[in-house]
Structure formats: C-alpha cells, structure tokens
C-alpha cells in the first residue's frame, strides 16, 4: 500500500497522501456515457492496463450554474472542466492501509436541484471524516438535468426505458463499485451509509425504494430532502415534449438527439426549467427501475432494514427568497396549497409569528411544504415499519448579512463535514462564537451513525428515536436540545396534504 497504490477489479490506481489520510481522485466507476450510450443506463467501466493516476478529480457533469447559489460553491463549478464523460468517484481513507481492518463507509450524493453540483466541490473534502471517525468517505458525480433525467421510454422504446432515472442509476453503479472494491481501500462493503443534501437527499430517499439499490447500503442520512421529488411517466413525457420543442425536434428524431451538441441540450434544458419554474428534471416512476412512488414503497416496508437519520433546516427557503424573491401568495396559490383549509392554515402560521410580515410567514410555509413535511412523512413511514429513525432540525442562524439568511438551505453542510472554512461557505459561517463546537457535535453524530446506526454521542443530550407519539427531534443550535414535536401546530395543518 506504499505510495497509495491500490488494485481494484478494473486495474490499479495510485493516489496521494494528505497528512494522515490517503486520497484517490477521479476513479471511473462506469463506462463514459457518451455517443450511443447517451441517455442509456450506465455500463461497467473498461479495465485499464498498468497503474492509473488518481491524483486529480475527474470532469464534472455538464451543467448550468443557477444564480444565487454561489454561497455554496456553485460559482466555482463553472471553473471546473465539464464533460459527458463524468462518471468518476473519489475516496478518502485513513492511514494505515493494509491493516486488515474494515472501516465504515460514507458515500455522499451531492445536491444541486438535479441540475448542478459535483463530488469534487471543496465543501465535500472527506479528510476530516476519515481522520476524526476512522471511516472511508466516497464522493461521486452523476448525470444531471436532461442527461440524467429525461424520460424517453415512451418515445424510444425498451433501450431507453430507464432514461428518466439515469442519474440515480449512476449512483447505484457507484454503490456497486463501492461494494466490489472498497475493501481494498480499507472499507467495509457491508457497513455503507449513503448520505446527501437537497437533491442528494431526495436521491437517497428514492434509492431507498429502488430494487437495484437493495443491499448496497445499510444506513441512510437525508439532509433537507426526502422521498417525494419524483414524477409519473405521463408528466415526465410532457416535460420531454417541451424539451424536444425547445430543440425543434420531432418525436421520431431520436438519432438527432443522440448527436446534438451538449451545449444545445443545456440550452433546451434551461428553457424547460424556466417554463415550468420548478424542478423539471427529477426521477421518474418508470415501472422498471422505480416501480412505485418512493413514499408508497417505504410505507410498504421496502427499506425497513435501513436505519435513517433525517432532518431539515429551520429557515430552508430563506436562501431562495431574498429581496424581490420574497413574494406574497395570492388567493389562488393559497387554495392550491391548502384547499378548503387555506384560511385556517394561514391563521395558524401567522398566530405563531405575530411580528413577522406575511412574506416571511410564507417563507416558513414554503419551508414546510418543500422540505420539513416531506421529511416528517418519510420518518413516519419508516418508523411505522419498526426501523430506527432519528429526526433533527438545524436551527443555527448565521449572523452574516444582518441575519437575513437565518438557518437557510445548505447551511448545515460545513458543520456536518467540519469544513467551516471552505471557499464559498466561509462568508456565511465566519468565525462566529460557538461555530466549531456545533460542527464537532454534528460531525461526530454523523460519524457515530455511520459506525453504529445510532447518532448519540457524549457531546449531545440523549437523542431518542422518532415515533409518531413523541416525535423527538434534535435541535442543532448554539445549545443543542431535544424537543418533542416542534412546530406541532404547523405540522397538523398539513395532515391529509402532501
């Protein structure tokens, strides 16, 4: 194992030493999905002769940077080489290697609205996890946007029946690679925790329900995402029609779609996203790779043997509703959201926030609709199967920018990874009092969960499992505490909805 040389099933790779951690970057876990393989399920990588250099990250998936997300590394992504040849992963493993130990493995699914992000973003450097937890960390790229989630099953036949879930199938291919190879890096293939944030957590929630992922992980952590971001084949096909229209293609011109320059695909993707004003490219219930809506499958017990840690941030939507974006809903929006209970729902939210303007109240409603309530639904369904479930809420509000972002979406990431000084994030988690102590508490809770399936640590108050009687929730803040059923009145507003 000298010089970080490891033999995988596909060939040897040489990484680098990074202090007390060895790092391998840019290892292919699937064949490049280019040419005729565009829009098709990932294929196994081609073995290579000799020793492959694994000292530089692989190219990231083609993507467009969304405005407003530069805080979280997205602006940096535009500087990284991008290519359809993007299916690479990275491994951090503690020294010494070759000691015969099998360490728990953490596999990260990055976020980014299913249209941006990468496993090589600096926020996801796994050195601290490896050092502090004696665990192996894996990050990866997967196909994004139309290349990852354009459903062609109705147009192009059986070969493309699973094209609407290519991004998830890429993740499964990476998990299969981990199962087959991670022992050579000091990891235990039977002690794998998948974790992710935002679209990454939504991916994790969907992987819980996918037959091909069964047995490839034993624990799951979902940060600000759940099992609800999927589409039916009918809706996915309408999105495909919009996409083809943006490219001026007819439905029988599949060959042209395979030959289209990737920049043209990204432009059409942007047109569809702007038209639908929502997550246009998300996983699809295709009846082949994903048989049921994930929430229904979880309620049926498909993942009852998987321990789950799940939670959200107190002010998720403040990241997206700053300045002019902080609109006030009209009557139609309220009716579509709450139906006949619209007046009662708004009255409940305003009663618990009497000093806030309606725009801020609506921000909290959206936080619950998009993030918190779906997380509660998954926790309820999984707990009712007898699986161990832990719930958290991240309440630490950044004082930066006058406090306008609060405990916003993605703010927990540098605390979980204990990477507080990462470029792009440091401006929100500057050297404020108590930040390192909170990072230690979250970081070691995640490590404990990866090691034992239980996030309790000596640094935290006793953290009970989640059930529908008490709904125990760990609030991560300057002072961490457990509260039963926080925001209970608002939670009850959503009964029968979502």
Beginning with the edge strand found earlier in the chain, give each strand of the sheet holding 472-476 in spatial order.
Answer: 16-18, 21-28, 88-94, 136-140, 103-109, 187-197, 219-223, 307-313, 389-394, 472-476, 481-484
Task: Compute the distance between CA of residue 51 and CA of residue 46 in angstroms, rounded to an integer.
Answer: 14
Task: Compute the distance between CA of residue 43 and CA of residue 41 in angstroms, rounded to an integer.
Answer: 7
Cβ pair 91, 23 in contact under 8 A: yes
Other C-beta atoms closer than 10 Å to the C-beta of 242 total 16
> How far lies 297's CA from each of 202, 306, 490, in Å?
15, 13, 26
Task: Compute the distance between CA of residue 206 and CA of residue 234 in angstroms, rounded to an integer.
Answer: 19
Joined together, the tokens standing for residue 43 give: 């294929």
What angle in degrees, to the nearest 10, is found between the helix axes of 358-367 and 342-351? 110
As a dihedral over the C-alpha atoms of residue 329, residue 241, residue 209, residue 470, rounded to 10 degrees, the angle is 10
Cβ pair 124, 71 in contact under 8 A: no
CA angle (344, 348, 351) in 5-degree steps: 130
β 5-8/231-232 pair status: unpaired
Q: In 3D, which of 395, 422, 408 has the Cα closest to residue 126?
A: 422
Rounded to a whole number of angstroms, the distance between the first and last alpha carbons of the chain is: 51
Cβ pair 153, 164 in contact under 8 A: yes
Task: Compute the distance between CA of residue 94 and CA of residue 133 in angstroms, rounded to an integer.
Answer: 9
Task: Compute the distance between CA of residue 283 and CA of residue 226 in angstroms, rounded to an integer.
Answer: 13
β 5-8/11-14 pair status: antiparallel
β 187-197/231-232 pair status: unpaired
Q: Residue 356: which H helix or E strand, with range?
A: none
Joined together, the tokens standing for residue 462 give: 């006793």
- List active site positions: 198, 316, 409
Cβ pair 178, 107 in contact under 8 A: yes
> Residue 76 — φ and ψ, nearest 5°?
-70, -30
């Amino acid at each position: 194992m000298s010089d970080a040389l490891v033999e995988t099933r596909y060939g040897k790779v040489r990484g680098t030493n990074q202090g007390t951690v060895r790092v391998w970057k840019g290892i292919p876990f699937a064949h490049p999905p280019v040419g005729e393989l565009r829009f098709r399920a990932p294929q196994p990588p081609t073995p290579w002769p000799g020793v492959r250099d694994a000292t530089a990250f692989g190219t990231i998936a083609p993507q467009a940077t969304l405005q407003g997300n530069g805080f979280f590394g997205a602006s940096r992504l535009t500087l990284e080489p991008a290519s359809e040849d993007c299916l690479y992963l990275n491994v951090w493993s503690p020294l010494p290697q070759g000691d015969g130990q099998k360490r728990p493995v953490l596999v990260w699914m990055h976020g980014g609205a299913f249209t941006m992000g990468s496993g090589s973003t600096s926020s996801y450097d796994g050195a601290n996890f490896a050092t502090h937890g004696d665990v192996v960390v894996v990050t990866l790229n997967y196909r994004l946007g139309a290349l990852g989630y354009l459903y062609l099953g109705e147009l192009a036949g059986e070969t493309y029946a699973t094209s609407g879930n290519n991004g998830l199938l890429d993740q499964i291919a990476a998990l299969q690679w981990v199962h087959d190879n991670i022992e050579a890096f000091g990891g235990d293939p039977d002690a794998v925790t998948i974790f992710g944030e935002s679209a990454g957590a939504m991916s994790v929630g969907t992987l819980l329900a996918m037959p091909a992922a069964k047995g490839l992980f034993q624990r799951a952590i979902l940060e600000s995402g759940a099992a609800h971001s999927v589409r039916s084949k009918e809706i996915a096909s309408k999105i495909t029609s919009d996409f083809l229209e943006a490219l001026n293609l007819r439905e029988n011109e599949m060959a042209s779609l395979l030959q289209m320059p990737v920049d043209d695909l990204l432009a059409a993707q942007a047109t569809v996203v702007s038209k639908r004003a929502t997550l246009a490219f998300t996983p699809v219930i295709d009846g082949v790779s994903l048989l049921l809506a994930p929430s229904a499958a979880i309620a049926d017990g498909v993942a009852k043997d998987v321990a789950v840690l799940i939670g959200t941030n107190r002010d998720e939507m403040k990241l997206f509703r700053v300045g002019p974006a902080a609109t006030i809903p009209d009557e139609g929006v309220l009716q579509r959201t709450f139906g006949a209970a619209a007046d009662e729902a708004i009255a409940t939210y305003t009663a618990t926030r009497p000093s806030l303007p309606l725009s801020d109240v609506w921000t909290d409603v959206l936080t619950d609709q998009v993030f918190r309530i779906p997380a509660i639904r998954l926790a309820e369904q999984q707990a009712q199967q007898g699986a161990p479930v832990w719930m958290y809420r991240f309440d630490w509000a950044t004082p930066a920018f006058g406090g306008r972002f609060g405990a916003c979406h993605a703010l927990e990431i540098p605390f979980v990874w204990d990477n507080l000084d990462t470029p792009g994030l440091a401006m929100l988690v500057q050297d404020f009092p108590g930040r390192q102590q909170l990072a230690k508490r979250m970081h070691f809770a995640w490590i404990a969960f990866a090691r034992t399936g239980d996030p309790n640590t000596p640094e935290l108050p006793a953290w009970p499992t989640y059930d529908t009687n008490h709904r125990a929730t760990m609030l991560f803040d300057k002072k961490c505490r457990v509260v039963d059923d926080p925001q209970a009145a608002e939670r009850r507003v959503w009964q029968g909805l979502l």
